[in-house]
């Protein structure tokens, strides 16, 4: 198939790389010229294991290119996939401006196509229930009139984890397809025909809501584990032993991954979607006290971890922070709890150095770049390479993930924040 992908962030770039690998012809569209230029040079605009190889191969094979505008690229396309951002608005709701604008652009381009030309438009961006019915469909009708009946709208949420996005695309926990009637979409069925996973064909609102439920549950698990971990630490109880016993019950306690006491949650999904679910709950008059407490408890955990870092640390001491991104082996800084630690160390006068081999400030783009500038604008001056990190003397080495395993840190004092002992 010939597929148009709108938005070349983590979701869009992963989709473009995997679909072009699977012999589809992909046109990526993003307003960010830097992302487009990278794709057209055979380079991914994000740092993700395996992504560089897929993008380079697709570019060489002539199956992947990008542009800053839709133009007439929609011609002969079987499918358009919307992967634009839905960042948090000041009140916690999702900002739907990008969704509305890209929908208008698709409608405008589709209206110029022959009257017998059908187009499936799938949305992968996380949106609140009612978005397909109350925002997307009306825009198509407004821009296309009766011709809007040629557009098959689909909501198809993604379930990708950063640092394992390609694997997750190929081995998803489930495939959810939302349509107006709840019936299957032939185009989406064809798209995923080689992927084995439980499939759910549901109505729009059911499909739109599942991502909120999933991400809020993940946030609940992380928060619960960290609250237990803090209680253990303050009472002389081994959180490691408690965690081992608790997670041995895989029948009832479900998953070890999110239930290990360690770092705060962060990244581009959980904080944003928890805030949005809080907004939705308030908007419909629900009383979700646990969900309302998640972000506050997560902030308390960040403070608890900072207190762990500074216990016994002399004023002006030198600290090496190993790992800054939300996850090891990626360069995603958005809402990374490790940035909070870095800012507080600088605020309180400590001499901070940062080692994270996946981060190159000059390569950051879009919201990732904006977050760096707003939260840690002096990042370039703080970064050190492997040789410098190993050769320098530090009063404390703080690691937040397994990146520290690539360093030879000798006998320096080391604090691992990825787990509560």
Q: What is the pLDDT of residues 190-211, one digit of tens each?
A: 999 999 999 999 999 999 999 9
Exposure letters 77-96 (e unless 16+ CB within 10 A, then b): bbbbbbbbbbebeeebbbbb
Share of the chain above pLDDT 90, in %: 78
pLDDT band at 177 (very low <50, low <70, confident <90, very high): very high
pLDDT exceeds 90 at position 246 = no
More confident residue, 164 or 253: 164
Q: Which of 69-73, 256-260, 344-348, 410-414 has the lowest mean pLDDT?
A: 256-260
Outline which parts of the chain fall under CATH 3.40.50.720: 2-197, 214-416
pTM recorded for the entire structure: 0.84
Q: What is the pLDDT of residue 63?
A: 98
Exposure letters 144-171 (e unless 16+ CB within 10 A, then b): beebbebbbbbbbbbbbebbbbbebbee
Q: Which of 13-17, 76-80, 115-119, 285-289 has the lowest mean pLDDT?
A: 285-289
Catalytic residues: 269
- Spatial CB neighbours of 403, under 8 Å, sequence gap ≥ 6: 322, 323, 328, 329, 355, 356, 357
Write down the CATH number for the domain with range 2-197: 3.40.50.720
Query: In whole angstroms, what is the distance from residue 131 CA to residue 184 CA?
Result: 19
Averaged pLDDT, 78-92 = 94
The CATH number of domain 214-416 is 1.10.510.10: no
């Amino acid at each position: 198939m010939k597929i148009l992908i709108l938005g070349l962030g983590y979701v869009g770039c992963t989709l473009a790389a995997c679909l072009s690998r699977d012999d589809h012809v992909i046109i990526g569209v993003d307003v960010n010229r830097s992302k487009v230029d990278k794709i057209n040079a055979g380079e991914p605009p994000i740092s993700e294991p395996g992504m560089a190889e897929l993008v380079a191969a697709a570019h060489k094979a002539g199956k992947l290119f990008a542009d800053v505008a839709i133009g007439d690229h929609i011609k002969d396309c079987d499918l358009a996939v919307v992967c634009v951002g839905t960042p948090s608005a000041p009140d916690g709701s999702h900002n739907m401006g990008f969704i509305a604008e890209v929908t208008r652009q698709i409608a405008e381009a589709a209206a110029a196509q022959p009257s017998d030309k059908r187009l499936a438009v799938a949305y992968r961006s996380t949106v609140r229930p009612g978005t397909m019915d109350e925002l997307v469909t009306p825009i198509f009708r407004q821009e296309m009139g009766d011709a809007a009946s040629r557009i098959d709208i689909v909501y198809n949420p993604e379930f990708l984890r950063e640092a394992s996005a390609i694997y997750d695309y190929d081995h998803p926990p489930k495939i959810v397809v939302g349509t107006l009637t709840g019936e299957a979409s032939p185009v989406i069925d064809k798209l995923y025909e080689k992927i084995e996973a439980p499939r759910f064909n549901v109505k729009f609102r059911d499909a739109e809501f599942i991502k909120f439920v999933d991400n809020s549950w993940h946030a609940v698990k992380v928060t619960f584990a960290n609250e237990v971990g803090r209680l253990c630490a303050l009472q002389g109880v081994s959180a490691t032993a408690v965690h081992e016993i608790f997670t041995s019950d895989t029948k009832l306690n479900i998953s070890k991954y999110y239930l290990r006491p360690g770092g705060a949650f962060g990244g581009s999904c959980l904080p944003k979607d928890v805030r949005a679910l809080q907004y939705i709950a308030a908007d419909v008059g629900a009383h979700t006290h646990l969900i309302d407490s998640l972000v506050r408890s997560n902030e308390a955990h960040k403070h608890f971890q900072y207190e762990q870092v500074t216990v016994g640390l002399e004023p002006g001491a030198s600290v090496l922070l190993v790992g800054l991104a939300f996850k090891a082996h990626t360069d995603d800084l958005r809402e990374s709890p490790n940035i909070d630690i870095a800012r507080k160390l600088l605020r309180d006068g400590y001499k901070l150095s940062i080692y994270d081999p996946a981060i190159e400030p000059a390569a950051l783009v879009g919201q990732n770049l904006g977050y760096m500038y707003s939260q840690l604008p002096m990042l370039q001056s703080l970064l050190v390479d492997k040789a410098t990190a190993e050769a320098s003397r530090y009063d404390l080495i703080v690691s937040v993930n397994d990146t520290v395993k690539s360093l030879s840190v000798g006998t320096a004092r080391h604090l691992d924040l990825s787990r509560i002992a």
